[in-house]
Amino acid sequence: VQATLAYHFANPAEVLLLLEAAQTPNQIVRAEELVITPATSVTRFDDPASGERRLVFTAAGEVEINYSAKVEMRGMDHALAGLPASAVSALPAEALSYLLPSRYCPSDRLQAFVDGHFASGAGGDKVLAMIDWLRTNIAYRPGASDTQTTALDTFVDRAGVCRDFSHLAICFCRAAGIPARVVSAYAWRLDPPDMHAIVEVFLGGRWLLIDPTGRAPPEGLVRVAAGRDVGDVAFMTIFGETELRAQTFAVTELPS
């Protein structure tokens, strides 16, 4: 995986960077390099439990960030069919907050719709029905949304990109009592190449990755971080103002 970001900061600003591939049992980072130009000191906020790696630094003037990593992917199961949902009482504590509404996923508002449209089925089968609904009813259209667009807007406007498909899928799952969160990822064969927003649902006692848009092969998704919605997992959160110069993302398959 490879990412290059270039920004201009007219005034110095702190930047929270969430760009590095997570270290998990299913995803082994074999080699990596993160270069921030000009060189600057960083403060790390790595989380051993999730394998997520955040860092904060102060940016000023022209700043370029280059990240590249070789990541070994272990086979993960993505099959939802037949998986049971858990009772709330049987969930791990960390899953509870993923049942609740968030900035872009006001799942409480879609309760009646979910009760009405996805009444039959349960667990993984219900989630598959939701994904099917999304692919039938929401058009994938670049430019259909911006940083203010919530899942309710997408539900009304019937068009969006990966963040919007994910937010609406998350609303549906939470309203059905299934914990769901967004995952930011590098995505192999995504066209055009970009950071991808996908979804993780808690079913059958574990978290499973799904891509509501169906645009990237699940085995090529290199996870960065999970959050309640994309507001939590932006690859850059800037406390101040900036101007984008350029950004590129690439994922290449290496021989195993």
Tell which one of 6, 24, 32, 56 touches its own copies (CB under 8 A).
56
Distance of CA 130 to the CA centre of its chain: 18
232 binds its own copies (CB under 8 A): yes
CA distance 75 to 240: 40
Tell which one of 11, 37, 43, 248 touches its own copies (CB under 8 A).
43
**172 vs 188 by CB, closer to its own copies:** 172
**Residues found in the chain:** 256
CA distance 120 to 247: 44
Segment lying near its own copies (by CB under 8 A), choices 30-38, 69-77, 151-159, 161-169: 151-159
Sign of CA dihedral 4, 75, 234, 124: positive
Tell which one of 6, 76, 122, 159 touches its own copies (CB under 8 A).
159
Distance of CA 78 to the CA centre of its chain: 16
Considering the complex, what minimum distance in angstroms separates the CB of residue 24 from its own copies?
A: 18
100 binds its own copies (CB under 8 A): yes
Segment lying near its own copies (by CB under 8 A), choices 71-79, 92-100, 127-135, 191-199: 92-100
231 binds its own copies (CB under 8 A): yes
Phi-psi region of 158 (alpha: psi -120 to 50; beta: other; left: phi over 0): left
Residues between 201 and 230 with contacts to its own copies, criterion CB under 8 A: 228
102 binds its own copies (CB under 8 A): yes
User: Contact 185/160 with Cβ under 8 angstroms?
Assistant: no
**6 vs 55 by CB, closer to its own copies:** 55
In sequence order, what are the residues at sequence separation of 6 or more whose Cβ sits closer than 8 angstroms to the Cβ of residue 42? 17, 36, 55, 56, 57
Strand, helix or coil at 232?
helix
CB atoms within 10 A of CB 145: 20
Residues found near its own copies in the complex (CB under 8 A): 14, 16, 43, 45, 47, 54, 56-58, 87-90, 93, 96-97, 99-103, 105-106, 108-110, 112-113, 116, 137, 139, 146-148, 152, 155-159, 177, 228, 231-232, 237, 239
